[in-house]
Amino acid sequence: MKRPLILIAGPTASGKTQTSVLLAKAINGEIISADSMQIYKGMDIGTAKVKPEEMQGIPHYMIDEWEADFPCSVATFKERVKSYLEEIYQKGKIPILVGGTGFYINAILFDTQFEETSPDEDYREELQHFVNENGVDKLHEMLREVDPISAENIHANNIKRVIRALEYYKETGHPISAHNEEEKEKRKGNESPYAYTFFALTMERSKLYERINLRIDQMVEEGLVEEVRHFFEAGYSEDLPSMKAIGYKEFFPYFKGEETLEASIEQLKQNTRRYAKRQLTWFKHQANPIFLSVDQLGFNPETIVSEMLSKINLNNKDLEV
């Protein structure tokens, strides 16, 4: 029998934190963050990390797992989440996955196999030297010869992904695009190892954008600029995955004297709105989401949770851990 998993996904400022805590109380659940940046210590304000008092005694996982310079891959993320899922199930409780990052959510829901290969540092260095000498287009041609599908999907300027695809081919003898297609078909077929219920929080676009702008103003008041400055002054490279997060990357030009603070804040608002739009689009292409329009429910967490409970049969065998 498949074990239960509840997913609450939604764009930033849609009320996931309060809603997930109330639902956890109602169904004897515990919460796992599916946000790819809340795993990093010290990145609190910019990632809208749940505060201890907001947890209301409900255990939360995948928060403050690693230092901000740790190169966490989606495969590493997924394996850590799986260990926490097992821990929650062993307690006889129901895990609630709250996100977050679409690619990471799918990796967990469908137990995506990444076929991680051992890094060939010599070959990687050889490819990097090749691109330095010959340019990105020549490197992209190398990929097109062995994996035309990946070459079509990966821009020549995305050197990291081009090199990764070439590494994968050298290591396995198979194009990485074929493996990715297998995983995509698995998602299409809704082949999840879990009996999951997927709630997607949505709202009217203009209201969402208004809430995003207000939230960012509040983050700045709470000390967001100082939080990012800490990483900048500590020497964290803006090329680190953590520092490329929305809420952090926008302020590096300001600290370097290349941009005003006002322009950096406006850029953050714009980037957040664009990301929220992509999140809403992502929901529409997922398997069996239950859409909840939180604006029509008055942005009231209790009302939202009542709607969720009406969709979840707590006596259903699928919810037996």
Q: What is the b/e burial string over 153-186, where b = at least 16 CB atoms within 10 angstroms of the residue's CB? A: ebebeebeebbbbbbbbebeeebbbeebeebeeb
Q: pLDDT: is 185 or 124 the higher one?
A: 124
Tell me the C-alpha distance between 298 and 304, whole Å.
9
- Summarised one tens digit per residue, pLDDT across range 65-115 is 999 999 898 889 999 999 999 999 999 999 999 987 888 898 999 888 766
If phi > 0 it is left, if psi is from -120 to 50 it is alpha, else beta; for residue 200 that is: beta
Is 2 labeled as ligand-binding?
A: no
* Cα 64 from Cα 33, distance rounded (Å): 10
**Is there a binding annotation on residue 189?**
no
Q: What DSSP letter does each residue of 105-174 carry, written as one string?
A: HHHHHTT----PPPP-HHHHHHHHHHHHHH-HHHHHHHHHHH-HHHHHHS-TT-HHHHHHHHHHHHHHSS
13 among the known binding-site residues? Answer: yes
Distance CA 248, CA 236 (A): 11
Q: Is 51 annotated as a binding residue?
A: no
Conformation bin of residue 249: beta by default, left when phi > 0, alpha when psi is -120 to 50: alpha
CA distance 78 to 70: 15
* Residue 68 · residue 41 · CB < 8 Å: yes
Q: State residue 74's pLDDT score.
A: 87
Predicted TM-score (pTM) of this structure = 0.80
**Region for residue 209 given its phi and psi (left: phi exceeds 0; alpha: psi -120 to 50; beta: otherwise):** alpha
Identify the band that residue 170 occupies on the pLDDT scale cut at 50, 70 and 90. confident
Res 198 pLDDT > 80: yes
Residues 6+ apart with CB under 8 A from 107: 74, 75, 77, 78, 114
Q: How does pLDDT run across 56-68, given as a tens digit for each residue?
A: 999 999 999 999 9
Is 16 labeled as ligand-binding?
yes
33 annotated binding-site participant: no
Ordered domains of the chain (ranges, CATH): 3-111+192-319 (3.40.50.300), 121-185 (1.10.20.140)
Task: Establish whether 17 is an annotated binding residue.
Answer: yes
Mean pLDDT of 166-191: 77
